[in-house]
Chain A
Amino acid sequence: MSGFFDIPSDLQHSYLGLIGLHLREALLPVLAGLLLALPTAQLCARLRWLYPPVLGVTTVFYAIPSLAVFVILIDYTGQTELTVMIPLALYSLVVLVPAIVDGVRSVPPETLAAATAMGFGPARRWFQVQLPIAVPAILAGLRVATASSISLVSVGALIGNQGALGNLLADAQRYDRPELALNSVLTTAVLAIVCDALLVLARNLLTPWMPRGTRASAKTARRPEPSEPEGALR
């Protein structure tokens, strides 16, 4: 009678409700992290000396156990989703900041020089040239940050029912129902895989200009062979 998808009532959510909650608690921090990482990365790309200390600080954030952060935050934000999401947002920075900085730095110098020479101001150059070319690197960072965030949400169970699917782990113990733990692990994994696939899809849609290494044969077929010698006079 207590099946795989029968969620104990103390969680106050249906199975799908837990999934929705889990996604919200995992993805909002990544979004917030991205919004924070973009200006930070821009500063790091412009001021080279700033990058190593910023990288150091984000790494230190990542090294702080979430439990320790909860202890501090709980005085201010209580036993809420926010308390879970703040450390997750900070953790995402350790991946996102270097992803954006490296992506922006990978823009070839002659492309930047050409943009400047054509009369792009710094802001226009950032938004129309540097960021778009960094999109593949940013998406790669988002994939790592998203997968990590989805798995980390579960620790919210430690501060009382804020772990979404993670709460199933606690209940599995409490009610001696191991299938709930299995459910939690499997569902979390599927969510991570689905989100990752969506990000790959987004990347492919956003970057039609990228040579697709995975479809090497298709690429060679698509690449137009110059139909006449390059040096031909016309």
Chain B
Amino acid sequence: MESVTKRYPDGTVAVDRLSLDIPDRAITVLVGPSGCGKTTTLRMINRMVEPTEGTILLDGEDLQRLPVTTLRRSMGYVIQNAGLFQHRTILDNIATVPRLLGWGKARSRERAAELMGRVGLDASLAGRYPYQLSGGQQQRVGVARALAADPPVLLMDEPFSAVDPVVRKGLQDELLRIQDELGKTIVFVTHDIDEAVKLGTMVAVMRTGGRLAQFASPADLLSDPADAFVEDFLGADRGVRRLSFFPSAGLELVTDAVVPLDAPAARLAASGAPYLLVTDPDGRPLGWGEPRDLIAGAIVPEGLLPYGRPFVPGTDSLRAALDCAVLSPTGWAVAVDADGRVSGVVSQQAIGEAIRSAHAAGRGDVAEVAEVAP
């Protein structure tokens, strides 16, 4: 997008000299408060809104040169509330664009059935009508319909904002999974900064009046907001959220304080730790106990302090590790391997050290850190 402006006849400027270089095969999120021109921007890409000034290039070609219906059929579009055709079955909804492109009926339906599987819809829903589906299911149909003709570009206009948070999280995870498989160029509009940070490879924060406030990766956005507006929009806990982009693999785990249920008294006494994490014979965590209680002999799993929620070093971020430590009554986080066996424990202080050194390293080399997105 090169210096694109949309001005309405009454003089309102919806989008003001916006220039964006949207990366191929990645998710670019447009985020901002309502009235910031993000939807207008999205709709200029498939020319549902024509820009007043400036040009939009797709692979170097001016969008204005293409016939508008051809252009639109080459871009998937997902809208809030799904916008399904209520008078057509789920299968026919998904087959819409292939049919418009002149594919045969059988081939279109075969393709639609394949997509139902891809977006996690049961094949038995194929013959049903939209009113018979839940909001989350309808939105999956919306995504399948947009993907039907295998378009290189996918435009998504607040697709998940009308569903409840649990369903939304499921749809977001599903979108990331599908994107891993298909590698589309996705432009995603939302007013939810958490969604933007979670989904975006790049995030464009827009402000009222249709101006670009900042265009950066989520990690850069959280560490270096361009101005007070962006900082305010990111919210108060951006420091903690930023920890999502730091890996927990570097944490030094302590193993002295981990003891099996049947450990001899001598070993219990040997470790100088204030609390010991007791594990079952398989190495799974049972709970925390104080050494003198444990030495006294009566180790019953029911008498131990709960250990909170463990984290997996290498997979989880520093944010997850910190969360574990905060949740743990002893202030120590429990690290487990992929099978749930304890690999060590780590204190809040140690996590704090790791955060400080990650910040120091992050200043110089943010790009590398961004690779470890959650």
A: residues with CB less than 8 A from B are: 108, 110-121, 129, 132-133, 135, 207-211, 222-224, 226-227, 229-234
A118-B100, A120-B100 are known contacts; what are 14 more A-B pairs with Cβ within 8 Å?
Answer: A110-B83, A111-B85, A113-B79, A114-B79, A114-B85, A116-B48, A118-B72, A119-B71, A120-B69, A209-B87, A222-B132, A223-B132, A230-B170, A233-B177
Q: How far is the CA of A223 from the CA of B46 in the complex (A)?
A: 36
Q: How far is the CA of A115 from the CA of B82 in the complex (A)?
A: 11
Whether A119 lies near B79 (C-beta < 8 A) is: no
Whether A119 lies near B72 (C-beta < 8 A) is: yes
Most interface-central of A118, A120, A209, A233 (chain B CB within 10 A): A118
Whether A117 lies near B72 (C-beta < 8 A) is: yes
Question: Which residues of the partner chain B approach A129 to less than 8 Å between Cβ atoms?
Answer: 85
Question: Which residues of the partner chain B approach A115 to less than 8 Å between Cβ atoms?
Answer: 83, 85
Please give the distance in Å from B145's CB to the nearest CB on chain A: 8
Count of interface residues, chain B, beta-carbon cutoff 8 Å: 50
Whether A111 lies near B83 (C-beta < 8 A) is: yes
Q: How far is the CA of A190 from the CA of B84 in the complex (A)?
A: 40
Given the contacts A111-B83, A119-B72, A222-B132, A231 and B170 also touching, CB distance less than 8 Å = yes
Q: How far is the CA of A133 from the CA of B86 in the complex (A)?
A: 7
8 Å CB interface, B66-84 against A: 68-73, 75, 77, 79-84
Question: Which residues of the partner chain A approach B82 to less than 8 Å between Cβ atoms?
Answer: 110, 114
Whether B125 lies near A224 (C-beta < 8 A) is: yes
Given the contacts A119-B73, A211-B131, A233 and B83 also touching, CB distance less than 8 Å = no
Instruction: Pick 28 A–B contacts, CB within 8 A, sort by A.
Output: A108-B81, A110-B83, A112-B83, A114-B82, A115-B83, A116-B48, A117-B48, A117-B77, A117-B155, A118-B145, A119-B70, A120-B100, A133-B85, A133-B87, A209-B88, A209-B89, A209-B130, A209-B131, A210-B131, A211-B131, A224-B128, A230-B134, A230-B167, A231-B168, A231-B171, A232-B170, A233-B177, A234-B120
Does B173 lie at the interface of the complex (its beta carbon under 8 Å from any beta carbon of A)? Answer: yes
Q: How far is the CA of A108 from the CA of B142 in the complex (A)?
A: 15
Whether B129 lies near A231 (C-beta < 8 A) is: no
Question: Which residues of the partner chain B approach A224 to less than 8 Å between Cβ atoms?
Answer: 124-125, 128, 132-133
Q: How far is the CA of A222 from the CA of B125 in the complex (A)?
A: 12
B69's nearest neighbour on chain A, judged by CB, is A119
Most interface-central of A117, A120, A208 (chain B CB within 10 A): A117
Whether B77 lies near A114 (C-beta < 8 A) is: yes
B: residues with CB less than 8 A from A are: 46, 48, 68-73, 75, 77, 79-89, 96-97, 100, 120, 122, 124-125, 128-134, 136-137, 142, 145, 155, 163, 166-171, 173-174, 177
Question: Which residues of the partner chain A approach B168 to less than 8 Å between Cβ atoms?
Answer: 231
Whether A111 lies near B69 (C-beta < 8 A) is: no
B70's nearest neighbour on chain A, judged by CB, is A119
Q: How far is the CA of A224 from the CA of B137 in the complex (A)?
A: 11
Most interface-central of A114, A120, A227 (chain B CB within 10 A): A114
Q: How far is the CA of A225 from the CA of B171 in the complex (A)?
A: 18
B169's nearest neighbour on chain A, judged by CB, is A231
Whether A230 lies near B85 (C-beta < 8 A) is: no
Contact check: which of A133, A210, A233 meets B173 at CB < 8 Å? A233
Given the contacts A226-B137, A233-B170, A234-B120, A110 and B79 also touching, CB distance less than 8 Å = yes
Question: Which residues of the partner chain A approach B79 to less than 8 Å between Cβ atoms?
Answer: 110, 113-114, 117
Question: Which residues of the partner chain B approach A230 to less than 8 Å between Cβ atoms?
Answer: 134, 136-137, 163, 166-167, 170
A208's nearest neighbour on chain B, judged by CB, is B129
Given the contacts A110-B80, A209-B86, A118 and B73 also touching, CB distance less than 8 Å = yes
Whether B97 lies near A119 (C-beta < 8 A) is: yes
Contact check: which of B48, B68, B89, B125 meets A113 at CB < 8 Å? B48
Whether A114 lies near B87 (C-beta < 8 A) is: no
Contact check: which of A111, A116, A223, A229 meets B84 at CB < 8 Å? A111
Given the contacts A118-B72, A119-B73, A207 and B166 also touching, CB distance less than 8 Å = no
Contact check: which of A117, A132, A233 meets B46 at CB < 8 Å? A117
Question: Which residues of the partner chain B approach A132 to less than 8 Å between Cβ atoms?
Answer: 87
A223's nearest neighbour on chain B, judged by CB, is B132
Question: Which residues of the partner chain A approach B122 to less than 8 Å between Cβ atoms?
Answer: 227
